[in-house]
Structure 1
Amino acid sequence: MKRKTFYILPYLVFSVLFLLPDMAFALSRQDKNGVGIDQIQISRVRDSVHITFQINLDSIRLRSNRSLVLQPFFKGESGSQWLPAVEVMGRKRYLYYLRNDLQTYAEAPCRVVKAGKDMQHRLPYETTLPYELWMENASLYLGEDECGCGQVIDAMQHPLAVADIAWHPALVYIAPQVETVKSRQLSGHAYLDFPVNQTKIDPDYRRNPEELAKICATIDSVRSDNDVRIIRIHIKGYASPEGSYTSNARLAEGRTNALKQYIINRYALADTLFNIAFEPEDWEGFRQYVKTSNLPDKDQIMQLIEGDGDIDSKERQIRARYPQSYRTLLEDCYPALRHSDYRIDYVIRGFNVDEAKQVIRTRPQNLSLQEMFAVAQTYQPGTPEFIEVFQIAVQYYPTDPVANLNAANALLEKGLAEQALPYLMKAGESPEAANSRGVAMRMLERYNDAAKWLHQASDAGLKEAQTNLSGLE
């Protein structure tokens, strides 16, 4: 028995094929039996791995009574699989094969070939395997058995090729726009209590200690930050419909100015920093309360609220016609309509990347999306730090499509498609978002959905989407 393993340099190279360095000298090399191998292709399409090559029998030397079994073998670090064999028979051996119920040396060969002048000298070989993880970077070998004993020697010493079929998604991050001025604002509602018909603030009266503390805490959170500058404070006061409109206008204006003066005195701020407004009666808040209430006279009261007529007249009619509901309004609705809305406008200075790497750990709300993106670029994609930065970004910019897209991409880098889906829902309709949705669908083996999204991105001109379509169709 003569046995030999051979390797021939493939002359057609695809992106799915990695050639070993020591194959360079094997270009013109043949085995002792004159068999050559070329045009090796190993590719993955969805859940299948396709292996094809060409067997060159131009120079085969085989005795008439012999068979040559060509036995491919696919082996990775954690798995292996014998592939269907090809058996080439000499003339006498082929006659024996025909006369004895097609007996072969190989177990269920995919092809039996008779050697001779009429033989097909170029034999295409093709087989398809269900994809398994071990096949990524697996090696393709070919052994020979010329004696028919079924023992292929040295079949795994000289690999023909290594399969580079691991899919590496092509993801596109979007750099957020630079904010030339980082303008921010904080806002809230205060429900201050005043004695009847009075406009002076008593800090200790009823709920006032808690309500004033809320306002001061908001201002303190900005003033305590050296990187922040307040540029405007807005206050708008409201009164309830109880009483006359003229009286309520006086109360709303006086109480709004009282809150402004309280803040000026406490913080020694300039009067010009404030923007003051007031609304004598909060009828919009009144309407919303009634609309969602369970008042027995809800529909009738709504008709009065939305109808034409004098405001004071409307309020008197509600009080006179529906006394039970009016008592509920006095207790549950009107107190909430007496409120002061406030908003603090401020700007934050810009940070270089070294500063931003510190700020993101202490006051991430002070960073723009672009500054966070710059921090992320200092880390290797797929690392915990890289993912964390984009998670922080989407936490502080939860509705921003770019923040959501980049957060999704960071997770997809690690193969975490399920975790990326909520962000992809808010990633907008850009080609980059369509590409990432296609990547997620492919990872989840939802191949038809993946193709739809990737074609959408590819049709929009995104070359990375075309890369991600490779092996999908």
Structure 2
Amino acid sequence: MNCITNFMKRATTIFVFMLSVCAVAYAQQHPCFEVTIDQLQKHDDCVDIAYKVTIHTSEVSDCESVLLDFYLEKNEHKIDFKPILVNGQSRNRTYKRGVALHNLQRNYANADVISATDPDTEIVYTDCIPHEEWMNGSVLYVKQAVWGCGSQLTEKIFALKTLTVPPMKLVDPVVTVVEIVPEPQPQPRVKNGVAYLEFPVGRSVLDLSIGKNLQEWNKIIGEIRQIEKDEDARIISVEIIGYASPEGTYALNERLSRERAKALSNQILLFGNLSLSPDLVRSSSVAEDWDGLVKLLEERPLPYQHEIMRIIENIGIFDGREKAIMELAHGNVYRTLLKEYFPKLRRTEYRITYMGK
């Protein structure tokens, strides 16, 4: 009895040892298959996959089954490819019987099933799957599941290759220089004129019946109307500038030049029979036109001209400039200015600004 008991213990120990050896052995890659990766690379908008699986049927023992699952995975994303099932001779008979009796095939419906009685086989897998962003850096794996004698199961996952994503080609930008020539913007045009209007002494009422006032008036209105009649023209402003000569007090000259310019502006708006908006007509004044006198003296020199120029340059208006000129040549120079030069300083300038061709 003791002999039988000892024999059973030794048999059990040997059986457990054999199972352990089998499990350790198949924790490594099973010798029945080899995988050659030909291509795993992104190309344009797809991923090209090509690998070859060589099955050595003689390496599968009679009671073994080896299932090879291929898949591409990264994090929670995964794509499965066609599995391969390799059966030993006895296991293949069991597999076929299970298929016939229990529809076992549904578990491996898309698998390539190979028997140990078949010759060595090469299975080539090629595909082009649409590329998705998560696939960058993904890995092609094969999961090896081995059912050994006694139906014990060992599993092992092998990383085969990481997806290659070629670097982006940097294309030198083609720079085309296009010279944009802006269309010339229309510039305002200006028409200047001078009118010599006569006013009663010390007053600023414009009387068209005096002297050549009507003629000067018609000249101003005629030029404004001519621009208004042009369909391509648009008046921007009409500026009236009144000038006074230096004789008399500065305060009086300032008031008269200002009021006379304003009188002409009002006359244009009220009686000019024009389409001008009131805000387009403006008036300004120059109380004593010493700059105009200098210009006249340069055009028409007279005795003591240099002395007059020196006085204008060095003595201020309110510091006795006019009195200093009066004292030249016992007043003869000043009388000449009063008669021949000052009347030309008492004038009205007009400036018409408009847009047009």
TM-score tier by shorter-chain length is 0.3 to 0.5
Query: With CA pairs under 8 Å and 6+ residues apart, which has the higher RCO, 1 or 2?
Result: 2
Structure 1 length normalisation: TM-score? 0.35
Q: Which has the larger radius of gyration?
A: 2
